[in-house]
Structure 1
Amino acid sequence: MNGDVVILTGPPASGKTTAAELIAGSAGKSTVHVTTDQFFRAIRSGYIPPHMPEAQAQNEIVVDAIVAAVAVYAQGGFDVIVDGIVGPWFLAPYRTVAARTGLALSYIVLRPALGTVLQRARGRSGPDLKDPDAITGLHEAFADLGDLERHVIDNTDLDASGTAEVVRQAIASGRYRLR
Protein backbone atom coordinates (compact mmCIF):
# COMPACT_ATOMS: atom_id res chain seq x y z
CA MET A 1 0.00 0.00 0.00
CA ASN A 2 1.30 3.44 -0.93
CA GLY A 3 2.01 6.09 1.64
CA ASP A 4 0.58 9.59 1.40
CA VAL A 5 2.69 12.54 0.24
CA VAL A 6 2.30 15.98 1.79
CA ILE A 7 4.12 18.95 0.32
CA LEU A 8 4.58 21.48 3.12
CA THR A 9 5.74 24.68 1.51
CA GLY A 10 5.87 28.45 1.79
CA PRO A 11 8.47 31.19 1.83
CA PRO A 12 11.70 30.88 3.79
CA ALA A 13 11.27 31.09 7.59
CA SER A 14 7.55 30.27 7.39
CA GLY A 15 7.95 27.33 9.77
CA LYS A 16 8.02 24.44 7.27
CA THR A 17 10.98 22.52 8.65
CA THR A 18 10.05 22.84 12.30
CA ALA A 19 6.45 21.80 11.66
CA ALA A 20 7.52 18.91 9.42
CA GLU A 21 9.96 17.65 12.07
CA LEU A 22 7.25 17.75 14.74
CA ILE A 23 4.69 16.00 12.55
CA ALA A 24 7.03 13.31 11.20
CA GLY A 25 8.53 12.67 14.64
CA SER A 26 5.15 12.00 16.23
CA ALA A 27 3.43 10.22 13.34
CA GLY A 28 1.49 7.08 14.05
CA LYS A 29 2.99 5.24 11.09
CA SER A 30 6.29 5.10 9.23
CA THR A 31 6.96 8.62 7.99
CA VAL A 32 9.84 10.22 6.12
CA HIS A 33 10.68 13.91 6.36
CA VAL A 34 12.28 14.98 3.07
CA THR A 35 13.99 18.34 3.40
CA THR A 36 14.50 19.70 -0.10
CA ASP A 37 17.36 21.91 1.10
CA GLN A 38 19.48 18.77 1.54
CA PHE A 39 19.19 17.99 -2.16
CA PHE A 40 20.38 21.48 -3.05
CA ARG A 41 23.20 21.39 -0.49
CA ALA A 42 24.41 18.11 -1.99
CA ILE A 43 25.69 20.06 -5.01
CA ARG A 44 29.34 20.63 -4.14
CA SER A 45 30.66 22.26 -7.28
CA GLY A 46 28.72 24.54 -9.61
CA TYR A 47 25.98 25.29 -7.08
CA ILE A 48 23.76 28.27 -7.87
CA PRO A 49 21.52 29.65 -5.09
CA PRO A 50 18.06 28.36 -6.07
CA HIS A 51 16.39 31.78 -5.82
CA MET A 52 18.63 33.19 -8.55
CA PRO A 53 17.12 33.35 -12.08
CA GLU A 54 20.11 31.52 -13.56
CA ALA A 55 19.40 28.50 -11.31
CA GLN A 56 16.35 27.34 -13.29
CA ALA A 57 18.02 24.37 -15.03
CA GLN A 58 19.69 23.27 -11.79
CA ASN A 59 16.41 23.59 -9.90
CA GLU A 60 14.55 21.44 -12.43
CA ILE A 61 17.13 18.65 -12.04
CA VAL A 62 17.03 18.86 -8.25
CA VAL A 63 13.22 18.77 -8.25
CA ASP A 64 13.30 15.64 -10.43
CA ALA A 65 15.69 14.01 -7.93
CA ILE A 66 13.46 14.97 -5.00
CA VAL A 67 10.31 13.69 -6.71
CA ALA A 68 12.03 10.39 -7.54
CA ALA A 69 13.10 9.90 -3.90
CA VAL A 70 9.66 10.85 -2.61
CA ALA A 71 7.99 8.38 -4.98
CA VAL A 72 10.23 5.51 -3.88
CA TYR A 73 9.53 6.15 -0.20
CA ALA A 74 5.78 6.51 -0.77
CA GLN A 75 5.56 3.44 -2.99
CA GLY A 76 7.37 1.57 -0.22
CA GLY A 77 4.52 2.41 2.16
CA PHE A 78 6.00 5.41 3.96
CA ASP A 79 4.06 8.62 4.42
CA VAL A 80 6.27 11.44 3.18
CA ILE A 81 6.37 15.07 4.24
CA VAL A 82 8.21 17.16 1.67
CA ASP A 83 9.49 20.33 3.31
CA GLY A 84 10.75 23.03 0.96
CA ILE A 85 9.98 25.89 -1.34
CA VAL A 86 7.71 24.10 -3.79
CA GLY A 87 5.74 26.78 -5.53
CA PRO A 88 3.07 26.01 -8.11
CA TRP A 89 5.82 26.37 -10.71
CA PHE A 90 7.32 23.06 -9.47
CA LEU A 91 4.14 21.05 -8.85
CA ALA A 92 3.90 19.38 -12.27
CA PRO A 93 6.50 16.65 -11.60
CA TYR A 94 4.80 15.75 -8.29
CA ARG A 95 1.38 15.64 -9.96
CA THR A 96 2.70 13.48 -12.79
CA VAL A 97 4.22 10.90 -10.43
CA ALA A 98 1.10 10.91 -8.23
CA ALA A 99 -1.16 10.32 -11.24
CA ARG A 100 1.09 7.59 -12.64
CA THR A 101 1.51 5.73 -9.34
CA GLY A 102 -1.78 6.45 -7.56
CA LEU A 103 -0.15 8.38 -4.72
CA ALA A 104 -2.32 10.70 -2.65
CA LEU A 105 -0.75 14.17 -2.85
CA SER A 106 -1.56 17.07 -0.52
CA TYR A 107 -0.28 20.63 -0.89
CA ILE A 108 -0.12 22.92 2.14
CA VAL A 109 1.31 26.44 1.97
CA LEU A 110 2.40 28.15 5.18
CA ARG A 111 2.18 31.87 4.59
CA PRO A 112 2.78 34.05 7.62
CA ALA A 113 3.01 37.82 7.18
CA LEU A 114 6.18 39.17 5.57
CA GLY A 115 7.26 40.88 8.79
CA THR A 116 7.01 37.57 10.61
CA VAL A 117 9.23 35.68 8.15
CA LEU A 118 11.79 38.49 8.09
CA GLN A 119 11.91 38.49 11.90
CA ARG A 120 12.27 34.70 12.02
CA ALA A 121 14.99 34.78 9.36
CA ARG A 122 17.07 37.23 11.40
CA GLY A 123 17.29 34.60 14.13
CA ARG A 124 18.51 31.86 11.81
CA SER A 125 21.96 30.35 11.93
CA GLY A 126 23.89 28.11 9.58
CA PRO A 127 23.26 27.92 5.84
CA ASP A 128 19.57 28.89 5.93
CA LEU A 129 18.56 31.81 3.72
CA LYS A 130 18.72 35.09 5.62
CA ASP A 131 18.87 37.68 2.81
CA PRO A 132 15.85 39.98 3.33
CA ASP A 133 15.55 40.81 -0.39
CA ALA A 134 15.54 37.15 -1.42
CA ILE A 135 13.07 36.26 1.34
CA THR A 136 10.80 39.14 0.33
CA GLY A 137 10.88 38.02 -3.31
CA LEU A 138 10.01 34.44 -2.36
CA HIS A 139 7.25 35.64 -0.04
CA GLU A 140 5.80 37.62 -2.94
CA ALA A 141 5.97 34.51 -5.13
CA PHE A 142 3.50 32.85 -2.73
CA ALA A 143 1.29 35.97 -2.39
CA ASP A 144 -1.34 35.04 -4.98
CA LEU A 145 -1.73 31.35 -5.71
CA GLY A 146 -4.93 31.59 -7.75
CA ASP A 147 -6.78 28.27 -7.60
CA LEU A 148 -4.31 27.03 -4.96
CA GLU A 149 -5.16 29.85 -2.56
CA ARG A 150 -7.39 27.42 -0.66
CA HIS A 151 -4.22 25.51 0.28
CA VAL A 152 -2.84 28.43 2.34
CA ILE A 153 -2.54 28.46 6.12
CA ASP A 154 -1.72 31.80 7.72
CA ASN A 155 0.49 30.89 10.67
CA THR A 156 1.55 34.44 11.54
CA ASP A 157 0.28 34.11 15.11
CA LEU A 158 1.12 30.43 15.65
CA ASP A 159 4.18 29.01 17.35
CA ALA A 160 5.85 25.83 16.11
CA SER A 161 3.59 23.40 17.96
CA GLY A 162 0.49 25.38 16.98
CA THR A 163 1.57 25.35 13.34
CA ALA A 164 2.23 21.60 13.48
CA GLU A 165 -1.21 20.97 14.98
CA VAL A 166 -2.98 23.05 12.32
CA VAL A 167 -1.05 21.22 9.60
CA ARG A 168 -1.95 17.83 11.14
CA GLN A 169 -5.61 18.86 11.06
CA ALA A 170 -5.25 20.06 7.47
CA ILE A 171 -3.78 16.73 6.40
CA ALA A 172 -6.48 14.75 8.21
CA SER A 173 -9.25 16.84 6.64
CA GLY A 174 -8.31 15.80 3.10
CA ARG A 175 -9.18 19.32 1.88
CA TYR A 176 -5.60 20.02 0.85
CA ARG A 177 -5.33 17.09 -1.56
CA LEU A 178 -4.50 17.91 -5.12
CA ARG A 179 -6.85 16.40 -7.64
Structure 2
Amino acid sequence: MNGDVTLLTGPPGAGKTTVAELVATKAAKPMVHLTTDLYYRAIRTGFVAPYLPGAQRQNEVVIGAIVATVREYARGGYDVVVDGILGPWFLDPFRAAAARDDLALSYVVLRPDLETTLARAKQRAGNELKDVTAITGLHNAFADLGDLEKHAIDTTYLDTERTATEVRRAAASTQYRLG
Protein backbone atom coordinates (compact mmCIF):
# COMPACT_ATOMS: atom_id res chain seq x y z
CA MET A 1 0.00 0.00 0.00
CA ASN A 2 1.35 3.41 -0.97
CA GLY A 3 2.02 6.11 1.57
CA ASP A 4 0.46 9.56 1.51
CA VAL A 5 2.47 12.65 0.56
CA THR A 6 2.16 16.09 2.14
CA LEU A 7 3.93 19.08 0.64
CA LEU A 8 4.41 21.57 3.46
CA THR A 9 5.35 24.97 2.14
CA GLY A 10 5.36 28.69 2.70
CA PRO A 11 7.87 31.52 2.87
CA PRO A 12 11.19 31.28 4.72
CA GLY A 13 10.59 31.58 8.45
CA ALA A 14 7.06 30.16 8.30
CA GLY A 15 8.11 27.18 10.44
CA LYS A 16 8.01 24.47 7.78
CA THR A 17 10.98 22.41 8.95
CA THR A 18 10.16 22.60 12.65
CA VAL A 19 6.52 21.67 12.03
CA ALA A 20 7.37 18.90 9.55
CA GLU A 21 9.76 17.39 12.08
CA LEU A 22 6.98 17.32 14.69
CA VAL A 23 4.48 15.86 12.25
CA ALA A 24 6.87 13.12 11.14
CA THR A 25 8.20 12.27 14.60
CA LYS A 26 4.74 11.92 16.13
CA ALA A 27 3.12 10.11 13.20
CA ALA A 28 0.86 7.14 13.81
CA LYS A 29 2.46 5.13 10.99
CA PRO A 30 5.90 5.09 9.33
CA MET A 31 6.72 8.56 8.01
CA VAL A 32 9.66 10.21 6.31
CA HIS A 33 10.54 13.90 6.59
CA LEU A 34 12.33 15.33 3.55
CA THR A 35 13.58 18.87 3.62
CA THR A 36 14.28 20.45 0.25
CA ASP A 37 17.14 22.49 1.72
CA LEU A 38 19.27 19.34 1.90
CA TYR A 39 18.87 18.77 -1.82
CA TYR A 40 20.00 22.30 -2.59
CA ARG A 41 22.88 22.12 -0.11
CA ALA A 42 24.12 18.97 -1.84
CA ILE A 43 25.20 21.15 -4.78
CA ARG A 44 28.80 21.98 -3.90
CA THR A 45 29.96 23.72 -7.07
CA GLY A 46 27.83 25.92 -9.27
CA PHE A 47 25.08 26.53 -6.72
CA VAL A 48 22.71 29.40 -7.48
CA ALA A 49 20.36 30.67 -4.75
CA PRO A 50 17.03 29.11 -5.81
CA TYR A 51 15.12 32.39 -5.72
CA LEU A 52 17.43 34.05 -8.27
CA PRO A 53 16.48 34.20 -11.96
CA GLY A 54 19.50 32.10 -13.03
CA ALA A 55 18.41 29.13 -10.90
CA GLN A 56 15.63 27.80 -13.14
CA ARG A 57 17.49 24.76 -14.53
CA GLN A 58 19.05 23.94 -11.15
CA ASN A 59 15.61 24.13 -9.50
CA GLU A 60 14.11 21.78 -12.08
CA VAL A 61 16.86 19.22 -11.43
CA VAL A 62 16.49 19.52 -7.65
CA ILE A 63 12.70 19.16 -7.82
CA GLY A 64 13.15 16.09 -10.03
CA ALA A 65 15.45 14.53 -7.42
CA ILE A 66 12.97 15.32 -4.65
CA VAL A 67 10.05 13.88 -6.60
CA ALA A 68 12.03 10.68 -7.29
CA THR A 69 12.84 10.30 -3.59
CA VAL A 70 9.24 10.99 -2.56
CA ARG A 71 7.99 8.37 -5.02
CA GLU A 72 10.34 5.69 -3.71
CA TYR A 73 9.41 6.24 -0.09
CA ALA A 74 5.67 6.49 -0.81
CA ARG A 75 5.69 3.39 -3.02
CA GLY A 76 7.48 1.63 -0.17
CA GLY A 77 4.54 2.38 2.11
CA TYR A 78 5.92 5.38 3.98
CA ASP A 79 3.95 8.56 4.42
CA VAL A 80 6.13 11.48 3.37
CA VAL A 81 6.14 15.10 4.48
CA VAL A 82 8.24 17.37 2.29
CA ASP A 83 9.09 20.80 3.65
CA GLY A 84 10.42 23.56 1.46
CA ILE A 85 9.54 26.51 -0.69
CA LEU A 86 7.31 24.62 -3.09
CA GLY A 87 5.20 27.28 -4.72
CA PRO A 88 2.50 26.45 -7.25
CA TRP A 89 5.17 26.76 -9.95
CA PHE A 90 6.74 23.50 -8.66
CA LEU A 91 3.59 21.38 -8.37
CA ASP A 92 3.34 19.78 -11.83
CA PRO A 93 6.08 17.14 -11.28
CA PHE A 94 4.54 16.17 -7.93
CA ARG A 95 1.08 15.95 -9.47
CA ALA A 96 2.38 13.79 -12.32
CA ALA A 97 4.11 11.41 -9.89
CA ALA A 98 1.00 11.20 -7.71
CA ALA A 99 -1.16 10.36 -10.73
CA ARG A 100 1.35 7.83 -12.07
CA ASP A 101 1.70 6.01 -8.73
CA ASP A 102 -1.81 6.61 -7.35
CA LEU A 103 -0.52 8.62 -4.40
CA ALA A 104 -2.63 10.86 -2.19
CA LEU A 105 -0.97 14.29 -2.48
CA SER A 106 -1.77 17.12 -0.09
CA TYR A 107 -0.56 20.70 -0.38
CA VAL A 108 -0.41 22.77 2.81
CA VAL A 109 0.83 26.37 2.85
CA LEU A 110 1.94 27.90 6.15
CA ARG A 111 1.36 31.62 5.78
CA PRO A 112 2.03 33.90 8.73
CA ASP A 113 1.79 37.63 8.07
CA LEU A 114 4.90 39.38 6.73
CA GLU A 115 5.87 40.95 10.06
CA THR A 116 5.76 37.58 11.82
CA THR A 117 7.60 35.90 8.96
CA LEU A 118 10.43 38.45 9.07
CA ALA A 119 10.69 38.24 12.87
CA ARG A 120 10.89 34.44 12.76
CA ALA A 121 13.41 34.49 9.90
CA LYS A 122 15.64 36.90 11.82
CA GLN A 123 15.86 34.34 14.66
CA ARG A 124 16.97 31.50 12.36
CA ALA A 125 20.32 29.90 13.06
CA GLY A 126 23.36 29.40 10.86
CA ASN A 127 23.28 30.01 7.13
CA GLU A 128 19.49 30.07 6.83
CA LEU A 129 18.06 32.78 4.59
CA LYS A 130 17.69 36.06 6.49
CA ASP A 131 17.77 38.56 3.60
CA VAL A 132 14.71 40.80 4.09
CA THR A 133 14.27 41.54 0.38
CA ALA A 134 14.39 37.85 -0.61
CA ILE A 135 12.07 36.80 2.23
CA THR A 136 9.60 39.59 1.40
CA GLY A 137 9.61 38.53 -2.25
CA LEU A 138 9.01 34.90 -1.35
CA HIS A 139 6.30 35.88 1.14
CA ASN A 140 4.60 37.85 -1.64
CA ALA A 141 4.80 34.80 -3.92
CA PHE A 142 2.49 32.98 -1.48
CA ALA A 143 0.19 35.98 -0.88
CA ASP A 144 -2.32 35.10 -3.60
CA LEU A 145 -2.55 31.42 -4.43
CA GLY A 146 -5.57 31.71 -6.71
CA ASP A 147 -7.30 28.34 -6.93
CA LEU A 148 -4.97 27.01 -4.22
CA GLU A 149 -5.96 29.66 -1.67
CA LYS A 150 -7.92 27.06 0.32
CA HIS A 151 -4.59 25.30 0.98
CA ALA A 152 -3.25 28.19 3.10
CA ILE A 153 -3.24 28.23 6.90
CA ASP A 154 -2.67 31.55 8.66
CA THR A 155 -0.08 30.64 11.29
CA THR A 156 0.57 34.17 12.52
CA TYR A 157 -0.77 33.41 16.00
CA LEU A 158 -0.17 29.66 16.14
CA ASP A 159 2.68 28.11 18.08
CA THR A 160 4.58 25.14 16.69
CA GLU A 161 2.43 22.45 18.36
CA ARG A 162 -0.83 24.06 17.23
CA THR A 163 0.53 24.46 13.70
CA ALA A 164 1.55 20.78 13.63
CA THR A 165 -1.96 19.84 14.75
CA GLU A 166 -3.43 21.94 11.95
CA VAL A 167 -1.08 20.35 9.39
CA ARG A 168 -2.07 16.85 10.54
CA ARG A 169 -5.74 17.81 10.24
CA ALA A 170 -5.15 19.30 6.79
CA ALA A 171 -3.28 16.23 5.53
CA ALA A 172 -6.09 13.97 6.77
CA SER A 173 -8.78 16.00 4.99
CA THR A 174 -9.56 15.98 1.30
CA GLN A 175 -9.71 19.82 1.20
CA TYR A 176 -5.91 20.00 0.89
CA ARG A 177 -5.58 17.27 -1.74
CA LEU A 178 -4.29 18.02 -5.20
CA GLY A 179 -6.08 16.21 -8.00
The TM-score range, normalised by the shorter chain, is over 0.9
Corresponding letter in the other structure for 1:168: R
Aligned equivalent of 2:71: 71
Residue 143 (str. 1) matches residue 125 (str. 2): no
CA deviation string 1:77-97 (max 9, x = no partner): 000000000000000000000
Specify the SS of the correspondent of 2:136. Answer: helix
Residue 159 (str. 1) matches residue 159 (str. 2): yes
Corresponding letter in the other structure for 1:83: D
Q: How many residues align?
A: 179
Instruction: After TM superposition, give the deviation of residue 168 of structure 1 in Å.
Output: 1.0
Aligned partners of 1:110 and 1:154: how far apart in 2? 6
Aligned equivalent of 1:30: 30
Specify the SS of the correspondent of 2:22. Answer: helix
Instruction: After TM superposition, give the deviation of residue 174 of structure 1 in Å.
Output: 2.3
CA deviation string 1:100-149 (max 9, x = no partner): 11011000000000000100011111121110100000000011110000
Aligned equivalent of 2:4: 4
Specify the SS of the correspondent of 1:91. Answer: helix
Aligned partners of 1:134 and 1:111: how far apart in 2? 16
Aligned partners of 2:169 and 2:31: how far apart in 1? 17
Q: TM-score by structure 2 length?
A: 0.99
Residue 120 (str. 1) matches residue 120 (str. 2): yes
- Give the alignment of 1:162-177 within 5 angstroms: 162-177=162-177
Instruction: After TM superposition, give the deviation of residue 172 of structure 1 in Å.
Output: 1.7
Aligned equivalent of 1:102: 102
Aligned partners of 1:18 and 1:44: how far apart in 2? 25
Specify the SS of the correspondent of 1:108. Answer: strand
Corresponding letter in the other structure for 1:85: I
Corresponding letter in the other structure for 1:173: S
Aligned partners of 2:74 and 2:18: how far apart in 1? 21
Unaligned runs of 5+ in 2: none
Aligned partners of 2:37 and 2:175: how far apart in 1? 27
Corresponding letter in the other structure for 2:153: I
Q: TM-score by structure 1 length?
A: 0.99
Aligned partners of 2:169 and 2:138: how far apart in 1? 26
Aligned equivalent of 2:133: 133
Specify the SS of the correspondent of 1:177. Answer: coil
Specify the SS of the correspondent of 1:167. Answer: helix
Instruction: After TM superposition, give the deviation of residue 171 of structure 1 in Å.
Output: 1.3
